[in-house]
A and B are shown apart, each in its own frame.
Chain A
Amino acid sequence: MGERILMKGAEACAEGAIRAGCRFFFGYPITPQNEVAGYMSRRLPEVGGVYLQGESEVASINMVLGAAATGVRAMTSSSSPGISLMQEGISYIVGCQLPCVIVNFMRGGPGLGGIGPAQSDYFQATKGGGHGDYNLVVLAPSTIQELVDLMKEAFEIAERYRNPVMVLADGIIAQMMEAVEFKYQVDPESLPPKSWAVGGARGRPKNIIKSLDLVPENLEKYNWMLQDKFQQAREREVRYEEYEMEDAEIVLVSFGTVARVAKKSIEEARKRGIKAGLIRPITLWPFPEEPFSRAIPHSKKFLVLEMNAGQMIEDVRLQVCGARPVQFKGKPGGTVFNPSEILELIISLEEKA
């Protein structure tokens, strides 16, 4: 066991990235995740890295693109309205086939919305967000320890597919403090050099990083090649947790902070003899399929809980495919579920079942 440190989520995220070998951070201030940039601006110079505050999220994501083009581990962090501004750059990074990590500590929207925690950017993160046919692998931690563990995986997945990875968490995970352990330490010098990177064509032909192809047939081929990568990610990168699912009749589905609250409610429901369980997708894209096909035979009802007005429920319905009723309860403004209200929902479903 390593040392356990009490840390705020945003700072743990930053430290995790540094220990994952990230030395380049570009960002623009926005609540509720400013501590990421604050921590990076202090720590990166100590380890020979670069923190730079961009003039906007638009510029920041393009700085990430530039750094990533040289083959280094680079990232940015923001919150919902800022992530909207980055969508152009994210689409270009996908088109240019560059790896990087983008963290979104979500707040309520639309527009300026609020600064309370939310999960309202699920569609934006998992269905595209920017223009063109593409996907990001989207990782959704529900504890600060999991956030830390996923930071290393995020960089590895990004490099495996030469595609951005998004870490999607609600603002609570940025602001809460928990004891965490850092189980890894990656020396960026030890990472293999990237044959595609730019930095000067010394002893090799020039490298070109681009997304443009003016020949439609060639662009189509390029898009199918990108789709092959996304298909590989669908097959290899699915991550999820099943909690009390062996015999669950009332199946809750939620991610991030909501899943954490739901576990407490399930514990209470089980004490009352209600067979409740939880499926918690950790990758929101690719969305898990197996736990649903396993659950359907013994399940009676599904209950999707999200801190939004109903987004992941569409993916849950695709998996359940009409086999069982799928119900929804949402919190789309920055408020959070409490265990007793989820317990009441479970009890009322059990009574009607």
Chain B
Amino acid sequence: MNEMVWKPVYLRPKSLARVNTHYCPGCGHGIVHRLLAEVIDELGILEKTVIMAPVGCSVLLYNYFEVDAVECAHGRAPAVATGIKRARPESVVITYQGDGDLAAIGTAEIVHAATRGERITTIFINNANFGMTGGQMAPTTLIGQKTETTPYGRSAERNGYPIRVSEMLATLNGPAYIARVAVNSVSNVIKARNSIKKAIQVQLEGKGFGFVEVLSPCPTNWGLKPVEALKWLEENMIPYYPLGEFVGGGA
């Protein structure tokens, strides 16, 4: 008689709470939450991590992580994180922000946290629109992209050009690690996980500011099915927002 031997190959990370998600079907936040939780587990930092929730779709992220959390005003997470890290340097401080939060209203806070080389890590979700408020134009919305507030498509003449945040921050001396990744394919998800780990490691090693921009699908507001959204991301976002490591790359 053969005895079945069960070997776990895919477990829920300890730092991820056992609750239902509020994210839409096909949204990238769930994947990125999972990756971040896996990295927190792997680095053994669950008991010293403090995560900043932004204003945006991920405002409720403190419900999903089993770590200390502070909910911040729109765009202010890097400033709040700075206050925490300066007061408790032994903590691991992470901000998780969307593109409205970080690239519009919070531009000053992210640029200055980066240039100060704050020993914090920022996970920046770029889905080319304001998700929570119903899909308005973000600074990252592509030229020609239709949103609730660019019904004829974003026009460079009217609205200016989309911001490449990673490249912009890479001009500063404070960041120790900057990468842009995507969660549209298995291989890209694995790369995203590696980048998130590196961005936290530079904090643990006291090297400086760590930053990962994640291109992430938003099927609901893009008006696409989840699989179509992955394709749209690959065909439209990646050409404008090239993937790769801009600071602190290599093994």
Contacts and interface: CB of A to CB of B under 8 A. Distances in A.
Contacts of B53: 210
A172 interface: no
A67 B67 contact: no
B70 A69 contact: yes
Interface in A34-54: 50, 52, 54
B46 A201 contact: yes
B86 A206 contact: no
A59 interface: yes
B71 A66 contact: no
Nearest to B80: A66
B84 A201 contact: no
A328 to B, nearest CB: 37
A25 to B, nearest CB: 10
A210 B61 CA distance: 11
- Chain B interface size band reads 35 or more
B88 interface: yes
Nearest to A98: B70
Contact of A52 (B68, B71, B82): B82
Interface residues of A, number: 38
Contacts of A207: 68-69
Contact of B48 (A202, A209, A212): A202
A200 B112 contact: no
Contacts of B69: 198, 206-210
Contacts, number: 135
Given A24-B87, A66-B87, 12 more contacts: A24-B86, A54-B112, A59-B76, A59-B79, A63-B79, A66-B81, A66-B84, A74-B87, A198-B70, A199-B90, A200-B47, A200-B48
A26 interface: yes
A56 to B, nearest CB: 6
Interface of A: 24, 26, 50, 52, 54-56, 58-60, 62-70, 72, 74, 88-89, 92, 96, 198-203, 206-212
B80 A69 contact: yes
Contacts of A60: 79
Interface string B82-123: 111111101110000000000000001101100000000000
A209 B70 CA distance: 5
A203 B49 CA distance: 13
Given A63-B86, A199-B91, A200-B50, A206 B66 contact: yes
A275 B130 CA distance: 66
Contacts of A199: 48, 50, 68, 84, 88, 90-91
B72 interface: yes
A138 B34 CA distance: 45
A258 B59 CA distance: 46
Contacts of B48: 199-200, 202
B73 interface: yes
A62 B67 contact: no
